[in-house]
């Protein structure tokens, strides 16, 4: 394969699915210019007209769900059931946006001295998104639908692993009535991406990825004074307090670690359990992980599919080995299966302490780190002892106290109490610290990519 091509590879079979030609610099510029040209007309469409297109995109996603879900599973190895659920989540985002967008983005009247004030939410222009492979549809829909609803043009540089999914999403948008070219897919290299950020027609940049990638993109965007929204990695902590419903906590925490083959920024990753519950939690948790069925992600009985690539699988295993070398103990899993496909077993690590990758870093695979805390307060201290702050959770029968601790003490952007969830169209999504900044979803997400414009009219 030449340096001017990229390929998608099936993680189950390790076979090439499709080879794509990278765009030349001129071709990439043409995609940007076409998005901007379409934006000039789209921005003048009423909020209600835009909302109608969002509704049709939801319909088109649902009618294309089976084909799209199979493509995503083939490209990245996620369970077919998870791919189907992802499509429905994306359709739900479109439904939410169509229903609430016109109201959230409507003009607001303000009282001002000796005059009349008006606040409008004008589109910015072309918004550039750099997105990862773990949710081929959702990651692109999440920023693009709110941006389009606001009247912007949108560009997508997706991970090469799911190039086919990026192109299919573009086709779905246009079949639903989105103006041709308004949503442009860029098949470009990382080096070419910097030129996109610098292009004068691009007005904002959003990235979902590692904290290292986020810093690089933010620095480049800052050098040309462009806004960024970053949703970066995390090492989400789920705390099991003294008064937790232990059976509920074990089941939810196991689900939270294995969801999407363990390759999610908001997977539950560190499990901080008080001394009172520690032994029972470990016993129950390990029992579930021992029984996890690995296999073909298209088969109904499979619980854990392959990781996205050999590189990803090898990195996960290296982090496990480094943690063990620094004192962690493997309770189940921890070895690479001898089989075709980039599989890694459901793995549990105990004796996890600072200085180990399992404690300090994000392991993007089905590896759980169980940490013992003295009591509830010590659990909160350990949870906050991280450079990350995207999501997390608390298990406690005293819900009012858990809410107060989540609100006042938990240094993270999102908190689940007595459950594990990943995203909801009406709840803001985003983090703090090295997990990034800015919000997607909800009213907050709808207003991320607008020019909040003040207009004052004299009496």
Domains located in the chain, CATH noted: 5-233+434-458 (3.40.605.10), 237-425 (3.40.309.10)
Query: Residue 1: is its pLDDT beyond 60?
Result: no
Rounded distance, CA 124 to CA 367, Å?
41
What's the confidence (pLDDT) of residue 267? 97
Q: How far is Cα of residue 168 from the mean position of the Cα atoms in its chain?
A: 19
**Tokens (6 digits) for 208:** 């979902």
**Structure letter (DSSP) for residue 435:** G
Mean pLDDT of the chain: 97
Q: pTM score, two decimals?
A: 0.96
Radius of gyration (C-alpha) of the chain in whole angstroms: 23
For residue range 225-271, what is the model confidence (pLDDT) as tens digits? 999 999 999 999 999 999 999 999 999 999 999 999 999 999 999 99
Taken in order 56, 62, 67, 68, the sign of the CA dihedral is: positive
Query: Residue 2: is its pLDDT beyond 80?
Result: no
Residue 231 a catalytic site member:
yes
Kindly state the average pLDDT of the residues 272-276.
98
Q: How far is Cα of residue 446 from the mean position of the Cα atoms in its chain?
A: 17
Bridge partners of residue 238, in order along the sequence: 271, 393
For residue range 378-408, what is the model confidence (pLDDT) as tens digits? 999 999 999 999 999 999 999 999 999 999 9
Taken in order 382, 395, 424, 263, the sign of the CA dihedral is: positive
**Tokens (6 digits) for 396:** 């406690």
What's the confidence (pLDDT) of residue 51? 98
Taken in order 10, 16, 18, 21, the sign of the CA dihedral is: positive
* First-to-final CA distance of the chain: 68
Rounded distance, CA 101 to CA 442, Å?
9
What's the confidence (pLDDT) of residue 114? 84
What's the confidence (pLDDT) of residue 78? 98
Q: How many CA atoms lie within 13 A of 388 on its CB side?
A: 30
Query: Residue 349: is its pLDDT beyond 60?
Result: yes
Q: How many residues does the chain have?
A: 459
Query: Residue 293: is its pLDDT beyond 70?
Result: yes
Residue 162 a catalytic site member:
no
Q: Give 35's contacts (C-beta < 8 A, 6+ positions apart).
A: 126, 153, 154, 155, 181, 182, 183, 184, 201
**Tokens (6 digits) for 2:** 């030449």
Give the strands of the sheet with 153-157, arranged side by side. 183-185, 153-157, 126-130, 202-208, 227-231, 436-437
Considering the candidates 90, 137, 253, 265, report the single residue annotated as catalytic: 265
Rounded distance, CA 128 to CA 126, Å?
7
Q: What are phi and psi of 288, to 5 degrees?
A: -65, -45
What's the confidence (pLDDT) of residue 459? 85
Taken in order 210, 212, 217, 219, the sign of the CA dihedral is: positive
Bridge pairing between strands 392-395 and 237-240: parallel
For residue range 122-133, what is the model confidence (pLDDT) as tens digits? 999 999 999 999
Query: Residue 79: is its pLDDT beyond 90?
Result: yes
Considering the candidates 231, 362, 440, 448, report the single residue annotated as catalytic: 231
Q: Residue 295, class by beta-carbon neighbours within 10 Å (0-12 exposed, 13-18 middle, 19+ buried)?
A: middle
Residue with tokens 């670690």: 257
Query: Residue 3: is its pLDDT beyond 80?
Result: no
Which of 387, 422, 441, 440 lies closest to 229, judged by CA?
A: 440
């Amino acid at each position: 394969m030449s340096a001017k091509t990229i390929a998608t590879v099936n993680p189950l079979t390790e076979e090439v699915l499709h080879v794509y030609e990278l765009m030349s610099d001129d071709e990439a510029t043409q995609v940007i210019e076409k998005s901007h040209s379409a934006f000039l007309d789209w921005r003048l469409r009423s909020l209600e007209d835009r909302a109608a297109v969002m509704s049709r995109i939801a319909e088109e996603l649902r009618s294309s769900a089976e084909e799209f879900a199979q493509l995503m599973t083939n490209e990245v190895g996620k369970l077919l059931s998870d791919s189907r659920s992802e499509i429905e989540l994306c359709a739900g985002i479109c439904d939410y946006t169509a229903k609430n967008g016109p109201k959230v983005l409507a003009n607001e009247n303000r009282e001002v001295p000796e005059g009349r004030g008006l606040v409008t939410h004008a589109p910015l222009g072309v918004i550039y998104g750099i997105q990862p492979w773990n949710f081929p549809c959702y990651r692109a829909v999440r920023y693009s639908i709110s941006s389009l609803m606001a009247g912007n043009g949108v560009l997508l540089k997706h991970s090469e692993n799911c190039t086919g999914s990026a192109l299919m999403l573009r086709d779905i948008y246009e079949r639903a009535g989105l103006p041709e070219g308004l949503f442009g897919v860029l098949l470009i290299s990382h080096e070419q991406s910097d030129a996109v950020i610098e292009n004068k027609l691009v007005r904002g940049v959003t990235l979902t990825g590692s904290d290292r990638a986020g810093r690089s993109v933010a620095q480049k965007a800052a050098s040309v004074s462009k806004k960024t929204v970053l949703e970066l990695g995390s090492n989400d902590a789920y705390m099991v307090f003294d008064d937790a419903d232990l059976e509920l906590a074990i089941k939810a925490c196991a689900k939270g670690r294995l969801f999407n083959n363990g390759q999610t920024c908001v997977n539950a990753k560190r499990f901080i359990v008080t001394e009172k519950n520690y032994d029972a939690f470990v016993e129950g948790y390990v029992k579930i992980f021992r029984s996890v069925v690995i296999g073909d992600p298209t088969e109904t009985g499979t619980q854990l599919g392959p990781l996205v690539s050999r590189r990803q699988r090898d990195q996960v295993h290296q982090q496990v080995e480094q943690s063990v070398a620094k004192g962690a103990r493997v309770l189940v899993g921890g070895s690479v299966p001898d089989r075709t496909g980039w599989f890694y077993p459901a793995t549990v690590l105990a004796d996890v302490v600072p200085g180990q990758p399992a404690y300090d870093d994000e392991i993007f695979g089905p590896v759980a780190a169980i940490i013992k805390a003295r009591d509830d307060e010590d659990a909160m201290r350990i949870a906050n002892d991280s450079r990350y702050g995207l999501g997390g959770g608390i298990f406690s029968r005293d819900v009012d106290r858990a809410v107060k601790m989540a609100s006042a003490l938990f240094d993270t952007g999102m908190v689940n109490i007595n459950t594990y969830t990943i995203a909801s169209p009406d709840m803001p999504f985003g983090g703090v610290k090295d997990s990034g900044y800015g919000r997607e979803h909800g009213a907050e997400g709808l207003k991320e990519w607008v020019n909040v414009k003040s207009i004052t009219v004299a009496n």
